Amino acid sequence: MNRQHPLRRFPSALMAWRNLGRNRVRTALATLGILIGVVSIASLGMATAAIQQQATANLEGLSNEVTISAGPDNPNDGISAEQVDDIERLTGDATVVPERSNVTTLSARNGAEIRVRVTALTKADTVYNVSRGRISNRFRSGALVSQADARLLGIEIGDPVTYDGQLYRVQGILSSSQGLGGQQRVLVLPLSAMSDQNHYDSVTVLAEPGQSVEALTAGIESSFNTANEDVVRVRNFASVQQNVGSFLSTLRLGLLGIGSISLVVASVAILNVMLMSTVERQGEIGVLRAVGITRGEVLRMILTEAVFLGIIGGVLGVVVSAGIGVILFEFLLGSPLNAFRWQSVQYLLYGMLFAVAASAISGLYPAWKAANERPVEALRD
Amino acid sequence: MSVIVLEDAIKRYHTGGEVIDALASVNFRADRGEMVTIIGPSGSGKSTLLNMIGLLDTPTTGRVRLNGRDVTNFSTDELTEERRSDIGFVFQDYHLLPMLTATENVELPTMWDTEVDRRDRAIDLLNRVGLSDRLTHKPPQLSGGQRQRVAIARALINEPDVLLADEPTGNLDQDTGATILDELTRLKESENIAIVAVTHDEQLVEYADRVVELVDGNINT
Ligand SMILES: Nc1ncnc2c1ncn2[C@@H]1O[C@H](COP(=O)(O)OP(=O)(O)OP(=O)(O)O)[C@@H](O)[C@H]1O
Ligand SMILES: [Mg+2]
């Protein structure tokens, strides 16, 4: 008989819990409002985190690259072998990969044809990764095709591809996340495939970990070009990365703003629900005050009700958002568990905190109003 | 010494340019062990008087003394504290909380005093008003008379000095009203408390030690 209710030590919580249980439909609707608010904040936040992770993964391979191509004042309309030597001298330990490029049509046995970019180079293993097959050490023979082209044309490892009348055996399929945009459509051949060409179309410099991409860019720039003569064009992706980064930050702020609006709407709903239920219970609160419950105790009780709505809606919202996050990360990145990295899981925390804070703020006025109602007035029906 | 004393209490309302003296210079006192019944026509100021005695309202002018202390100028929170410790209330409409059990309703005034556990006293009080088999029932599952007995037990939980009742038998039939009044009479003696009851009920007058009649905010003697 003396079994105590677990909330007995927290009278405000006990009373708030019982009160919420009285009108379950109303409690459920208020909770649903908060849930939607939390889901919109948390899932939009997690979506930007997913996009960010994807962008970072894609840009990572490019961050140490400097690309050199012929400038408008280049007499050769390409980079000469001597210029490649100069670049090698200028860049020290960095790997220098000169390449020639062209465009060709690949055809499948079933007659399908696609246009692809062809690039011819020696140190293919320094620039490309394969998901299947391999890249031979000194890329003298064989070919590499992108995953997308291989799929389209039904090309398997060992199959032949033709370029300029020559047959090359496919020795590797490029992995899909290669460079900006993920799916570069390219056919990679040995340098000998374009031996008719004297100059190189571009030179890629792969900086070593200690080297600054910006410094390499500036060094090459100043040694080849003068103020009014652009012999070479030198580009790196550091600025691209920066731009993408700041774009994503803006995107995140915008999306979080939209998410917060729905939580503001939800807290207005809570304000309404709490006002309605305290007005309905005016007589009851008058009795509480008459039998000696203080204004502070009434205030705490009603505030606790509002906070409970926030906690229940918040927890449910976090559960739903975590599910949405897993789906998002599976869909965008193919790795669902990345959703639980701090970069994205932080938004679950923000959603929860926001829900509790918004509910508490919405509860303040109804609680204050109920607590300060004079018991004589409240008791007169 | 009287438990509660009103001295020259006036309650004045200003409504729409009109001035109404709901109470016009009333002197009132109640002692331990006595039941005072306040009677009078509707609108004569009975509830207003009871609200002054119960420290729910303060007089416009005049003094209020509780156990000899002048509480007239107490703050809202101090008055609440006095009500909690010294005054019990019983209402015509019972005013129990529907989501709490009978025992919890009785404990309600002490609910926020987490240091003291009044559960045993609550159960004891419910036994004494004959509800030992209804401890975990909620108000909607109780009859009117049973609800009023829960309300009486609630009024006594903090061992008050005075119990105030506004039409305690107003919603009950004759027989049930009589058992409630028997109950109050027994408790008045066993607990040695003052009971002040407002009523239209002739029956209640028979139980009174003293009757005060109000007419237009004045006490008729
Ligand atoms: N808040 C108020 N504002 C203005 N007038 C009031 C207020 N409260 C009470 N009155 C007036 O004071 C007078 C006494 O009211 P009170 O409620 O004490 O009467 P009562 O004797 O309890 O009547 P009943 O038997 O109908 O309950 C009435 O004329 C009422 O209109
Ligand atoms: Mg009245």
Reported as a single tens digit per residue, the pLDDT across A28-87 is: 999 999 999 999 999 999 998 888 888 887 777 677 888 898 888 888 888 988 889 999
A158 torsion bin: left (phi>0), alpha (psi -120 to 50), beta (else): left
Residues of A in contact with B87 (CB under 8 A): 292
Distance CA A57, CA A55 (A): 5
Pairing of strands A143-146, A166-174: parallel
Q: Provide the CA B11 distance to its chain's centre, in angstroms.
A: 19
For A111, A117, A122, A161, the CA distances from A106, given in Å and listed in that order, are 10, 10, 22, 7
Contact A195, A75 (CB under 8 A): no
Q: What is the pLDDT of residues A134-189, one digit of tens each?
A: 888 778 888 998 888 888 888 888 888 888 888 899 998 887 654 444 456 789 99
Q: What is the DSSP letter of A292?
A: T
Express the helix, strand and coil content of chain A in percent, nearest 5 each. 55, 20, 25
Helices marked H in A281-294 — which ranges?
Answer: 282-290
- Are the Cβ atoms of A1 and B123 closer than 8 angstroms? yes
ipTM of the complex: 0.93
Token digits of residue A380: 């007169």
pLDDT band at B44 (very low <50, low <70, confident <90, very high): very high
- Are the Cβ atoms of B97 and A14 closer than 8 angstroms? no
Which residue matches tokens 């009871």?
Answer: B50
State the average pLDDT for chain B: 93
Pairing of strands A113-121, A186-189: parallel
CA of B15 to the centre of ligand 1 (A): 12
Tell me the sheet residues that pair with A118.
A102, A187
- Pocket (CB within 6 angstroms of ligand 1): B 13, 15, 20, 22, 40, 42-48
Contact A91, A205 (CB under 8 A): yes
Using a cut of 0.95, tell me whether the model's pTM lies above it: no
Maximum Cα–Cα distance across chain B: 55
Distance CA A87, CA A66 (A): 11
Residues of B in contact with A283 (CB under 8 A): 95
Q: Which residues of B95-107 are buried (b: 16+ CB within 10 A; e: fewer)?
A: bbbebbbbbbbbb
Distance CA B21, CA B59 (A): 11
Residue range B8-22: mean pLDDT, rounded: 92
